């Protein structure tokens, strides 16, 4: 049998093929994981149940943020045949260009699986779409909950949400593309508490993506957990009222409950309806708001630093007394050659000086703080004295971190020795060089939150709680930091003369804040009128003064401390003082006795006209 | 031949019977898992594929018993008749309505019969009868004691034998059914064993290598290192072949006795010319003759296309199913891809049945199945070699070749080593025609075995 040996060749071929198959199978099934991953990708899928976000209440348990069902429109491309696209785009209000683009993207993703077509259609728009939807096969809706702001106010406090970006996802792996995240305001601060925990259901799918069974009998599934509800210290009625009063004005109002540090209202004008930044038109509306030259998106209360003007004098008086350079009964004459002043009688005490807001008085007492004779050299003396002064100012929270539970809070600026050394060289300056700081001008800058806190400090006679928005968190303690008292460097005994002066500002003839007077409530206040400049095209223009009022009430057992700042509207007593009194009255009594006063404010359009100069540039300090 | 029909039970090759029932049994339970329908959970439900497969098994066993009772001489006697009938069927089927683009089926109710499956049996019988009747098989390679390495001379296969192969092959191509056509090349193994096609087999192996290289490289271009000359892939192959030729020339000049050189030089030049012509033929054949979907299938195996959700959908799903099985598999009826309910793997009860098995039983299962087929094939070779008559040996080798091809291509396709060709895995894939034809072939082989 001459060909017999060939049987071995054939047998060998069989064995070789079997050997190759075995090696290949071992590699594919045991060593290489790519097919396991691929199989999972093909056959497994999950549905994510987005948790309802936590509800936000105000201090009176009024719902200020809740959830509403919005609709996403999805499409299965190979079912969407014979669509009258012209009619369809009219129905859902989109451009033909977008329609074609979205449809092509969906087709590219998968012809058999559904893709997002149009997202976040508000319920009122969807009620018009839903009855027509049967004409368009392949399109179907999916519910999703979004935020709704029933009060339409407090946009700056509440903030807004939008889709997570890559940075968010990198920072916190909880977030997946397409998730929403609190971007500003309390939505951002309390994101973690509000967002809840998403639920996941894993399932097996067939080749057209239809669920066939639960994955591992639901072993890995989780239920969605609703976000925690939180309660803010905000009094929503007061907030709304504040926004109404500030309509057609630029500036801000901050009110704090002195006994707790809870922020009662924070108005920044102009504002906007927070509902504008919800849903599919978010981007469009945001751009619109961003283009507005009055900067409605900018939160002036937390982010703007302003010169405090005369309201700053209160700290001078308190510091001087604590340092022992004056007594409450010290009098100084109104020497207008030192610093300009208005006409008034001579101030024979701290109380008088506060009441009349006498510039030379505060010039002289601040000089006494800074030049205490600790060095025989006047320049060295100023250097030592200014740092003492700066420490005092900072002990009132000015220019320091107030630990406010809010994003984008700026700090004021308190100049110290090192700062002036840089400008004028070491020992190249003394009080006369820098005297504007004593009346809250010059280099001093504050935020309105800091100044409202100052009013609360005075109301408390020497201490404060860090201002904060949070009042309660469901099932959680509010941070301890908000429950501890912070003391200033001034003893409480020195507050009485200042408070007396502040009462007289409002309630005595000749006081600068008479327009704030109320029959029913003893308001203590201090006016401020801040010179300000705008540099436009390299030229420094003096603008109309800012109108400022700092106050608390009632004088004994204070319930509210407030700071009102109205840009470019002149003397503090004219606009800021009456506005502050309306807020106080509203908060304490719940009603307004003097409607003439109210109407005067409501009807005033105080938006400055810059048309004779140039459109305003965003101030340097107004960075977000 | 012994005449022991009175003691046929004692003569039965029980290993073969065991292998048969093992494969068929595993096959039916695997089909059950593959197409399980909760509305028809009964294994014997005739609406289901497993139910029908059991019916086909019954028919097959009936045929098997008849075959076992038949005398080999009867088969030999009617070999041409059987062949003739299958040819007639292959002609008639061309006038039947097309199913899935091929005129390959006779429909009988919900059952279908594929004459091409039976044509294989006819060809095996006819070829065995013709070759055993001629004496070519003995005289061909007589000059050499060692004939594993074939002589480089064109083997002259008798024309009638060639016709026996080519007529049904051509008819099947007309259906068209490329898969079954390819199975016909399995007869080259038989011819090789019988001393005819030694060089053809070697040619085939070299040709496959050259073809693969050509298809992979031909369309690309490269730059010769050092020189800045850009060449097409085809030129590169031709240059490589010429370089190889020159190397062989020097090898021959250095190591072969001068008197033997002449013939080798001729052979060298001849094969070089043939190879270069072949390269061009492959390139043209690939681009002009093959249909688009066939090109795509080849490109997928060669890795020239990567389109897991489009062109490569079938093979991607098949590989994912098998690869995700792991070592011990996902468990019986726990496949997540290769079952009808999930529907990710196409034709998972027929052409891609190996996927269900491998996904559910893992490497442990897939290796066992490969092992069972290997044992079966080796056993078939042993049976064939045990034959004293040329007719039975040739027939047994034909059966072995057919089984081997089906195994090689079906499994190779599922694991991405062969292009997608729709041919069944013997005894495992669902299908009446294949079940019957494989059974007939198998029982022939077994019957021959017990009478050797």
- The average pLDDT across B416-430 equals 88
- The average pLDDT across B197-221 equals 71
Nearest CA in chain A to B360: A29
pLDDT of the residue at B198: 61
pLDDT of the residue at A211: 80
Total number of residues shown for chain B:
452
- Four-CA torsion B431, B436, B441, B442, nearest 10 degrees: 80
Instruction: Compare A317 and A46 and report the one with higher pLDDT.
Output: A317
User: Which range, A12-26, A64-78, A528-542, is most confident?
Assistant: A12-26
pLDDT of B136 higher than 70 = no
Measured in angstroms, the CA of A217 and the nearest CA of chain B are apart by 12
pLDDT of the residue at B135: 55
pLDDT of A262 higher than 90 = yes
Above pLDDT 70, what percent of chain B?
87
The rounded distance, in Å, linking the Cα atoms of A252 and A180 is 29
pLDDT of the residue at A69: 87
pLDDT of the residue at B257: 77
Residues of chain A with C-beta less than 8 angstroms from the C-beta of B327: 29-30
DSSP character for A222?
A: B
pLDDT of the residue at B9: 61
pLDDT of the residue at B221: 67
pLDDT of B239 higher than 90 = no
> By mean pLDDT, which of A398-407, A576-585, B30-39 is the weakest?
B30-39
pLDDT of A164 higher than 70 = yes
Above pLDDT 90, what percent of chain A?
55
Sequence-distant (6+) residues with CB within 8 A of B89 are B106, B115, B118, B119
Q: Hey, which residues does A73 pair with through a beta bridge? A: A118, A141
pLDDT of A555 higher than 80 = yes
User: pLDDT band at B153, cuts 50/70/90?
Assistant: very low
Contact A604, A578 (CB under 8 A): no
The 10 Å Cβ neighbour count of residue A477 is: 9
Residues of chain B with C-beta less than 8 angstroms from the C-beta of A34: 323
- The average pLDDT across B225-235 equals 72
Q: Hey, which residues does A541 pair with through a beta bridge? A: A534
Nearest CA in chain A to B408: A17
Contact B262, B268 (CB under 8 A): no
Measured in angstroms, the CA of A111 and the nearest CA of chain B are apart by 11
pLDDT of the residue at B110: 62
pLDDT of B31 higher than 60 = yes
Instruction: Compare B35 and B303 and report the one with higher pLDDT.
Output: B35
pLDDT of the residue at A484: 94
- The average pLDDT across B157-170 equals 84
- How big is chain A by its Cα radius of gyration, in Å? 33
User: pLDDT band at A564, cuts 50/70/90?
Assistant: very high
pLDDT of the residue at B145: 39
pLDDT of B1 higher than 70 = no
User: How does the average pLDDT of chain A come out, rounded?
Assistant: 89
Domain chopping of chain A, boundaries: 46-232, 236-279+299-603
- The average pLDDT across A561-568 equals 95
The tens digit of pLDDT for each residue in A264-308 reads 999 998 999 998 988 878 889 999 999 988 899 999 999 999 999
pLDDT of the residue at B4: 45
Residues of chain B with C-beta less than 8 angstroms from the C-beta of A30: 326-327, 363
Query: Is the CATH number of domain A46-232 3.40.1790.10?
Result: no
User: pLDDT band at A516, cuts 50/70/90?
Assistant: very high
Q: Choosing among A7, A12, A26, A42, which should be mutated to test the B contact, i.e. which has the most B CBs within 10 A?
A: A42
Contact A471, A232 (CB under 8 A): yes
pLDDT of the residue at B450: 65
The rounded distance, in Å, linking the Cα atoms of A309 and A438 is 9
- Taking an 8 Å cut-off on Cβ atoms, the answer to whether A40 and B324 are in contact is yes
The tens digit of pLDDT for each residue in B82-99 reads 899 999 999 998 888 877
Of A442, A489, A439, A445, which is closest to residue A464 (Cα–Cα)?
A: A489
- Between the alpha carbon of residue B383 and those of residues B144, B386, B394, the distances in Å are 26, 5, 11
pLDDT of the residue at A620: 47
The 10 Å Cβ neighbour count of residue B266 is: 11
Instruction: Compare B395 and B267 and report the one with higher pLDDT.
Output: B395
Instruction: Compare B166 and B208 and report the one with higher pLDDT.
Output: B166
The tens digit of pLDDT for each residue in A101-137 reads 999 988 888 777 778 888 888 888 899 988 888 888 8
pLDDT of A218 higher than 90 = no
Q: Hey, which residues does A547 pair with through a beta bridge? A: A529, A566
The tens digit of pLDDT for each residue in B175-196 reads 888 778 888 888 888 888 887 7
The fold adopted by the segment(s) A236-279+299-603 is: Beta-lactamase (3.40.710)
pLDDT of the residue at B152: 37
Nearest CA in chain A to B314: A207
- How big is chain B by its Cα radius of gyration, in Å? 24
Instruction: Compare A393 and A337 and report the one with higher pLDDT.
Output: A393
pLDDT of A503 higher than 90 = yes
The tens digit of pLDDT for each residue in B348-363 reads 888 899 999 999 999 9
Q: Choosing among A1, A25, A111, which should be mutated to test the B contact, i.e. which has the most B CBs within 10 A?
A: A25
Tell whether A293 is within 8 A of chain B (Cβ).
Answer: no
- Taking an 8 Å cut-off on Cβ atoms, the answer to whether B145 and A2 are in contact is yes
């Amino acid at each position: 049998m001459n060909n017999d040996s060939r049987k071995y060749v054939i047998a060998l071929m069989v064995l070789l093929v079997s050997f190759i198959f075995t090696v290949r199978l071992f590699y594919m099934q045991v060593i290489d994981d790519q097919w396991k991953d691929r199989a999972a990708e093909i056959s497994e899928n999950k549905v994510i149940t987005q948790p309802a976000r936590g509800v936000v209440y105000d201090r009176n348990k009024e719902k200020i943020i809740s959830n509403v069902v919005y609709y996403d429109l999805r499409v299965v491309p190979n079912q969407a045949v014979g669509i009258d696209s012209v009619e369809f785009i009219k129905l859902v209000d989109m451009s033909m260009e977008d329609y074609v683009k979205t449809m092509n993207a969906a087709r590219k993703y998968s012809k058999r699986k559904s893709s997002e077509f149009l997202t976040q259609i508000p319920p009122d728009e969807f009620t018009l779409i839903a009855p027509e939807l049967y004409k368009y096969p392949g399109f179907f809706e999916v519910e999703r909950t979004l935020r709704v702001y029933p009060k339409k106010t407090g946009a700056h406090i509440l903030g807004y949400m939008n889709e997570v970006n890559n940075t968010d996802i990198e920072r916190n792996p909880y977030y997946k593309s397409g998730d929403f995240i609190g971007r500003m305001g309390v939505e951002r601060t309390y994101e973690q508490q509000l967002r809840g925990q998403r639920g996941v259901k894993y399932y097996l799918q067939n080749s057209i993506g239809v669920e066939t069974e639960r994955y591992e009998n639901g072993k890995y599934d989780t239920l969605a957990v609703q976000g925690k509800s939180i309660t803010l210290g905000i009094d929503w009625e007061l907030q709304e009222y504040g926004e109404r009063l500030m309509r057609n004005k630029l500036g801000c109002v901050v009110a704090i409950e002195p006994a707790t540090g809870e922020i009662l209202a924070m108005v920044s004008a102009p504002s906007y309806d927070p509902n504008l930044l919800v849903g599919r038109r978010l981007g469009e509306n945001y751009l619109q708001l961003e283009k507005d030259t009055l900067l409605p998106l900018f939160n002036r209360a937390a982010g703007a630093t302003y010169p405090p003007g005369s309201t700053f004098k209160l700290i001078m008086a308190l510091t001087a007394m604590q340092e022992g350079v004056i007594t409450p009964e010290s009098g100084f004459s109104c020497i207008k050659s030192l610093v300009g002043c208005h006409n008034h009688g001579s101030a024979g005490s701290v109380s008088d000086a506060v009441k009349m807001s006498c510039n030379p008085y505060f010039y002289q007492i601040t000089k006494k703080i800074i030049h205490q004779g600790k060095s025989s050299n006047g320049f060295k003396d100023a250097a030592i004295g200014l740092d003492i002064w700066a420490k005092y100012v900072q002990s009132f929270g000015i220019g320091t971190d107030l630990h406010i539970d809010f994003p984008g809070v700026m700090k004021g600026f308190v100049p110290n020795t090192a700062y002036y050394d840089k400008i004028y060289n070491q020992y190249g300056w003394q009080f006369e060089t820098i005297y504007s700081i004593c009346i809250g001008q010059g280099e001093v800058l504050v935020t309105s939150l800091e100044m409202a806190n100052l009013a609360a400090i005075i109301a408390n006679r020497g201490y404060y709680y860090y201002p904060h928005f949070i009042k309660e968190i469901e099932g959680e303690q509010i941070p301890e930091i908000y429950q501890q008292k912070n003391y200033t460097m001034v003893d409480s005994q020195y507050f009485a003369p200042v408070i007396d002066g502040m009462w007289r500002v409002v309630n005595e003839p000749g006081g600068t804040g008479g327009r704030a007077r109320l029959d029913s409530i003893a308001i203590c206040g201090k006016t401020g009128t801040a010179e300000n400049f705008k540099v436009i095209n390299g030229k420094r223009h003096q603008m109309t003064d800012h109108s400022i009022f700092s106050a608390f009430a009632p004088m004994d057992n204070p319930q509210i401390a407030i700071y009102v700042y109205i840009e470019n509207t002149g003397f503090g007593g004219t606009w800021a003082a009456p506005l502050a009194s309306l807020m106080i009255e509203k908060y304490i009594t719940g009603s307004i006795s003097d409607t003439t006063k109210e109407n005067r404010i409501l009807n005033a359009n105080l938006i400055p006209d810059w048309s004779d100069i140039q459109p305003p540039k965003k101030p340097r300090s107004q960075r977000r | 031949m012994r005449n022991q029909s009175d003691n046929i039970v004692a003569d039965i090759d029980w290993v073969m019977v065991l292998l048969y029932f093992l494969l068929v049994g595993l096959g039916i339970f695997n089909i059950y898992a593959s197409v399980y329908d909760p509305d028809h959970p009964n294994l014997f439900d005739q609406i289901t594929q497993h139910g029908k497969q059991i019916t086909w098994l019954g028919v097959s066993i009936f045929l098997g018993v008849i075959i076992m009772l038949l005398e080999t001489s009867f088969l030999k006697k009617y070999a041409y008749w059987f062949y003739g009938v299958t040819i007639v069927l292959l002609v008639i089927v061309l006038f039947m309505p097309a199913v899935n683009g091929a005129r390959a089926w006779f429909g009988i109710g919900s059952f279908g019969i594929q004459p091409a499956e039976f044509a294989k049996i006819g060809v095996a019988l006819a070829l065995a009868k013709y070759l055993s009747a001629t004496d070519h098989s003995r005289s061909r390679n007589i000059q050499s004691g060692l004939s594993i390495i074939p002589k480089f001379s064109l083997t002259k296969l008798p024309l009638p034998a060639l016709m026996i192969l080519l007529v049904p092959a051509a008819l099947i191509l007309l259906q068209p059914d490329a898969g079954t056509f390819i199975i016909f090349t399995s007869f080259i193994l038989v011819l090789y064993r019988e001393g005819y096609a030694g060089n053809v087999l070697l040619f085939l192996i070299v040709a496959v290598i050259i073809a693969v290289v050509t298809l992979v490289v031909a369309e690309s271009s490269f730059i010769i290192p050092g020189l800045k000359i850009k060449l097409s892939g085809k030129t590169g192959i031709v240059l490589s072949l010429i370089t190889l030729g020159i190397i062989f020339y020097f090898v021959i000049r250095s190591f072969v006795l001068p008197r033997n050189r002449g013939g080798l030089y001729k052979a060298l030049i001849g094969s070089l010319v043939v190879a270069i012509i072949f390269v061009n033929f492959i390139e043209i054949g690939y681009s002009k003759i093959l249909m688009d979907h066939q090109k795509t299938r080849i490109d997928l195996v060669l890795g020239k296309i990567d389109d897991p959700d489009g062109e490569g959908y079938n093979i991607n799903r098949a590989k994912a199913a098998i690869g995700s099985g792991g070592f011990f598999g996902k468990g019986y009826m726990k496949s997540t891809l290769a079952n009808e309910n999930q529907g990710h793997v196409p034709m998972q009860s027929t052409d891609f049945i190996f996927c269900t098995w491998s996904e559910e039983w893992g490497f442990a299962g897939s290796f066992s199945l490969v092992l069972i087929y290997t044992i079966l094939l080796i056993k078939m070779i042993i049976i064939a070699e045990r034959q004293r008559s040329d007719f039975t040996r040739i027939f047994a080798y034909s059966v072995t070749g057919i089984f081997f091809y089906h195994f090689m291509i079906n499994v190779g396709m599922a694991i991405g080593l062969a292009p997608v060709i729709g041919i069944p895995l013997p005894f495992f894939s669902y299908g009446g025609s294949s079940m019957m034809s494989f059974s007939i072939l198998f029982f022939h082989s077994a019957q021959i075995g017990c009478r050797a």
